[in-house]
Amino acid sequence: MPISAQALLTRRTPAAATVFAALGDPTRLALVTKLCDGSRQSIAQLTDGLSLTRQAISKHLGVLEDARMVSSQRTGRESLYVLNPVPIGEIRSYIDLVSSQWDNALTRLKGFVEE
Amino acid sequence: MSDRIEKQIELNATVSRVWRALTDHREFGEWFRVKLDAPFQPGLEAHGHITYPGYENVIWRAVVQKMESERLFSFSWHPYGIDPDVDYSTETPTLVEFRLEPRGERTLLILTESGFDKIPAARRTEAFRMNDGGWTTQTENIRQHVEASHAD
């Protein structure tokens, strides 16, 4: 069944909110930064240089996975994590949407006070 | 730039006139398209039905933050939270600020919306630099749009 444009627009807001929440933490930002070169990295590699335990990093990666910011693939005994660039594009779309609504509101305000 | 929205518009009206249009709840409702029940008051939530056709059942909510006469009006809200099926209360609100500066008999209005959940920190990462080109273009579009409105 095709999804209507309206439904897509409606869904964009909560999706963007999840991404904002996922990025609202310095450790998760650091993890995203490490992965933004497109590399696949294990939890051990991602923990390197961060003053947190493997368990804590694993938890943060879980939040990023829930927000679809990263995805993981199991190879042998370990999981490799890779960045998904789509949600960052959704942030842009979301702010663009809010921005265009302000353009409309300010145009109405201008008409209102200049009457 | 991408952590916040900033817009400037020069209005052919005095600061007093613009201040009233922003902070009188009835006047605000006229151009913002919401029917507010009570005057704005710092610290209190303002709410009312949206009057935009098709969205009349939606309740608009904002918490007034600052009202510094003829200078600054601000509120926090969940931007365009118009989907009745979404619980916006779990999201971090953004802060909307209207700053007024007299320009003779005209008024420069500076609108900012900030706090898109700590995006400023995110901006410092490479991940966000990838998108920088797009944002610069978008900012330029806004500038041209606003300047085109001035010329009217």
Of B57, B132, B41, A112, the residue nearest B49 (C-alpha): B57
Chain B residues lying within 8 Å of A21, measured CB to CB? 91-92, 117
Report B:33-92 residues touching A (Cβ under 8 A): 33, 79-81, 83, 85-86, 90-92
User: A5, A8, A67, A95: which is closest to B115 by C-alpha?
Assistant: A95
> Which of B9, B14, B117 should we substitute to test contact with A (largest number of A Cβ atoms within 10 Å)?
B117
Q: What is the pTM of this model?
A: 0.63
Question: Alpha helix (H) ranges present in B6-108?
Answer: 15-23, 25-32
* Residue A39, pLDDT above cutoff 90: no
Q: Does B26 touch chain A (CB under 8 A)?
A: no
Which of B126, B135, B137, B141 is the best mutation test for A, with the most CBs of A within 10 A? B126
B93 contacts: CB under 8 Å, gap ≥ 6: B63, B76, B77, B78, B115
- Chain B residues close to A107, C-beta within 8 Å: 149
Q: How would residue B18 be classed by pLDDT, with cut points 50, 70 and 90?
A: very high
Q: Which residue in chain B has the smallest CA separation from A6?
A: B83
Question: Mean of the pLDDT values across residues A15-26?
Answer: 71
Is the model's pLDDT at A10 over the cut of 80?
A: no
**pLDDT at A13 (0 to 100):** 53
Interface test with B, best of A8, A9, A23 (most B CBs within 10 A): A23
Task: Please state whether beta strands B45-50 and B34-36 pair in parallel, antiparallel, or not at all (unpaired).
Answer: antiparallel
Ranking A55-69, A100-114, B117-131 by mean pLDDT, the lowest is B117-131
Residue B138 CB-density burial (10 A; 0-12 exposed, 13-18 middle, 19+ buried): middle
What residues in B contact A95, CB-CB < 8 Å?
2, 5, 116
**Out of A13, A33, A105, closest to residue B32 by CB:** A105
pLDDT tens per residue, range B121-130: 333 233 333 3
- The stretches of B49-131 forming alpha helices (DSSP H) are 119-123, 126-129
Distance CA B135, CA B1 (A): 7
At residue A88, the 3 state secondary structure works out as helix
- Strand, coil or helix: A83: strand
Other CB atoms within 10 A of residue A92 CB: 16
Residue matched to tokens 């809010």: A98
Chain B CB contacts of A111 under 8 Å are 31
Please tell me which residue, B53 or B131, carries the higher pLDDT value. B53
pLDDT value for A28:
86
Q: Is pLDDT at A8 greater than 50 in this prediction?
A: no
Looking at residues B95-116, what average pLDDT do you find?
92
Cα separation, A25 vs A27, in Å, equals 6
Question: What does the alpha-carbon distance between residue B21 and residue B71 come to, in Å, rounded to a whole number?
Answer: 13
Q: How far is CA A9 from CA A21, A94, A98, B49, B59, in A?
A: 19, 9, 12, 21, 19
Number of inter-chain CB pairs under 8 A, A vs B? 116
Residue B82's pLDDT band (boundaries 50, 70, 90)?
low
